[in-house]
Amino acid sequence: MNHSFIWQGRKDGEGVDHLRIHQVINTSPRADFALIGFSSDEGVKRNKGRLGAADAPDSIRAQLANLPVHQPITIADIGTVICDGSKLEQAQAELAEQVERSLKQRMKPIVLGGGHEVAFGSFSGLFQYVQNCEPNKKIGIINFDAHFDLREAENVTSGTPFLNAAQLSEQHHQEFHYLCIGVAKHSNTKVLFETADRLNCTYIYDHQLQPKNVENIISKVQDFIGKVDYLYITVDLDVFSASIAPGVSAPAVKGIDLSVFDPLLAAIKETGKIKVFDVAECNPRLDLDSRTSKLAAYIIFNYIFD
C-alpha cells in the first residue's frame, strides 16, 4: 500500500462548523468510511483504451480535501493499491483483501479508481467477506456505466470485471445479480447484449434516463434491490456526458445527467444496503480543469453525507 498523499487544504476557522474533509481524515481509531485508492491502467491497456486512470486516486483525493463536513463523520485513508507493471491480478487480489478487511472492521469502503478493472477487486472483497462472515447474504451489483463490461477475454481487463464476477459467483454456486444503468446501445456489441441476457442481467438504457422517467426508474431499481441483501455500487464516470466528464478513456457521446443520477443514488442509499462503493475510469491526463475529478469527489460527497 502506498501512503504518499498528504491531506491538506483550506482552513476557515476554529470549531466543527468550519471543518473540511482534510481536517477529519485519519482522526479517529475507528472510522465510518475507508478510502482505498486503486492505481491501475493495466486493465485499460489490455482493453486497448487510453491510459491515465492510474493517476486518479490522488487527483480525486485532492478534490475531496476541501469539501465541507456537514455532519459528524469519521474517514480513514487506507492508502493506495498500486498495480506493479502488468501484475493486475495481484493488484486486484490486494484490493479485495483491503476491502474485506475494512468490512470486517465495520467500515464502508470507498474505492478510488483507476480503470474499471477496479470493479473485480471491489466485488471480490465484498464476496470474500460474505463467504467468510455472512454466507447467507445475497450480493447485488449496480453499475452506472455506458458499457456492460461483460467481455470475454483470456485475461482480466477493464472490460471483463462483471463477467469475472459472474464466473466467481458460479464457482461458489451463488446467484449473480447485476443491474447496469446507462447502457448505450452504440457502445456495446450484439454479443454483449446476448451475454447480459444469458446471465439474466437487468439493464436500463441511457436514453431512458430522463428526468420525467425518474420515478419509474427508481421503482425498477428498487425491485432489483429487493432481491438482495447487500449492494456493491460502482460508478464508471464515462456514463456521464463528456461535458461534465471529459477525463475518461471513452468519453460519452450522449451520457446521462446529474439531474437523473442524483435522485437514483439517493434512492439506492436510502435502502441502507450499500456495503462497497467505488468510482472508476477517472483519467486526469485527459481531464479539463479537473472536471472529472471534481465530479468523482462530488459523487463521493453525496454518498457520504445525508
For 162, what's the count of Cα atoms within 13 Å in the CB-facing half-sphere?
A: 30
Residue 112, C-alpha cell as written in the block: 478510488
Residue 75, C-alpha cell as written in the block: 474517514
149 marked as binding residue: yes
257 marked as binding residue: no
Query: Roughly how many angstroms between the first and final C-alpha of the chain, as a whole number?
Result: 30
177 marked as binding residue: no
Residue 38, C-alpha cell as written in the block: 486503486
CA-CA distance, 179 to 162, in Å (whole number)? Answer: 10
186 marked as binding residue: no
CA-CA distance, 277 to 287, in Å (whole number)? Answer: 22
Characterize 79-116 residue by residue with b for buried, 16 or more Cβ atoms within 10 angstroms of its Cβ, and e for exposed: bbbbbeeeebeebbbbbbebbbbbbeeebbbbbbbbbb
CA-CA distance, 270 to 69, in Å (whole number)? Answer: 20
278 marked as binding residue: no
238 marked as binding residue: yes
- Give binding residues as ranges: 116, 145, 147, 149, 236, 238
- Give binding residues for Mn(2+) as ranges: 116, 145, 147, 149, 236, 238
